[in-house]
Structure 1
Amino acid sequence: MVTTGALLHGNAAQHLAFNEEEHPLALQLGGSDPAELARCAKLAAAANYDEINLNCGCPSERVQRGAFGACLMAEPELVADCVRAMCDAVSIPVTVKHRIGINDRTDYAFVRDFIGTVANAGCRTFIVHARNAILGGLSPKENRTIPPLRYDYVHRLKCDFPELEIILNGGIQTIEQMAEQLAHVDGVMLGRQAYHQPWLLASVDQHFYHAATPLAQRAEIETAFIAYAAQELERGTYLGAMTPCNSITNCYTIFCATARPKQTAQALAPSASSAANCVLIWPLAFRF
């Protein structure tokens, strides 16, 4: 996610940079001013993004102070104005990610009416985190676990809005859970599970799309990442800014579910912060 202020008053090229292999790629924007969001949407479209997503789901106090995130669900007409402005500015899809409610608004009608209002402004895809957001009193981490999951609300949304694309988010950790939810909605979104156990994604194409391509081996991914890291370092890229991983440390999560994941992580972690060691430490993992 990037805020409208960061794009309009900061280094837009840096914020919008990505690797071509990341397509299809969405840019999530944080903001609540329709005109500013429209300007940012134009920047994203010009940078060859495939989708603009408006953040109406983040519950953090810092985000609330910026007047965006989950607090926007209390102002569906403003969200509709924001979506309409972006839809008028660009031809790529404009989507919204949100919660099922905020604070004590736990009734289904709240999220149903929110979607109805925003859909009338041109949004056709809604990514629904199936929890309420507690704005004050809970940390962002607690907001991802303490409010109960209400998948039934998301299922009802698909029934009430069959013409819309409804994507469920929250608590999905396995291929089996994905398949179960896809019987009720158009898609599922993985959040932190994709970060903590990226190897889970390796079998998605085969399971859901019957792809014949054989699964890549961890050693192949290691080799590809070493080459990628070396190339980026030569270009002067800061190690912590590399995509698809925010830092080299995060990359060792790909060894989750291996025979000795703890030992693998210990082998990688001591050198993970060093750019000089970046391309040297990965082969150590395969000695375990």
Structure 2
Amino acid sequence: MGIVNANPDSFSDAVRHTGADAAVAHALDLVAQGADLIDVGGESGVTYTGVTAQDVEIERVVPVVARLVAEGVTVSVDTWKAAVAAAALDAGAHLLNDVSGLRDAALADHAARTGAGLVVMHTRAAPKEEHFADYGGDVVGDVLAFVRERCAVACDRGVPAERLVVDPGPDFAKSPAESIACLRRIDELRALGHPWLAAVSRKYFLAAITGRAPAERLAGTLAAVGHAADHGAAFVRVHDVAATVDFLCTREVLAGRAEPGELDPGDDALKWIRADDATTA
């Protein structure tokens, strides 16, 4: 799942993709790198900026969704607002990635109406609110209870169980240690029977492990992706698609689950780096 932020304030984007043309171009580049679907967001989850008006978010997201769907791209939309979800689904989006934990059950209604999938993520914080809940020492138990209850709400609203995806919500209303605890015990969430989404790219919990800023967390992200793959993740949501694809493909080949491609033996660029005589003279 390649990330396309169509908003100006993402915590992790070194380059801002302002305007639909730039967002679409970036999305198509991620598809060319190997992304299976694109997650389009019109509002950052950072808590140091306010809530984006729904009409502004719709204006950012819907043109990007419509153009990507016209190109044959599978599209997810990262939103917690029912009006934005409805507009994006009507433009052809295939999946709602709701980071509010289905705070507004109307998102489930829209998913049921259109046949779209729905991500149910664990969080105890309201959108755009910085909040660390008291889990009484059992954050994993809270994740399981919350996700189970929210999935039941979605099913009651008409979303088939097989169209639900679950997400432990790393960094959402959790300390880095709590996020790590959830990922260490992810098999317990997986046991609920739904595919799970690993949204681990450049996350803050990686800073507790590596001490690195968001733009420097690729190695940590890939390690987290490897852990997710080991534990049956259906999706990994990442900024660095090409590196992630290379990482996962190499794992598959070395594990004997795939074979390497053919190389052109005459392509010296794949063998070594040569100094340019003009620059070394």
Identify the TM-score tier after normalising by the shorter chain: 0.3 to 0.5
Larger RCO of the pair (alpha carbons < 8 Å, separation 6+): 2
What TM-score comes out, normalization by structure 2 length? 0.47
Would you tell me which structure has more helix in proportion to its own residues?
A: 1
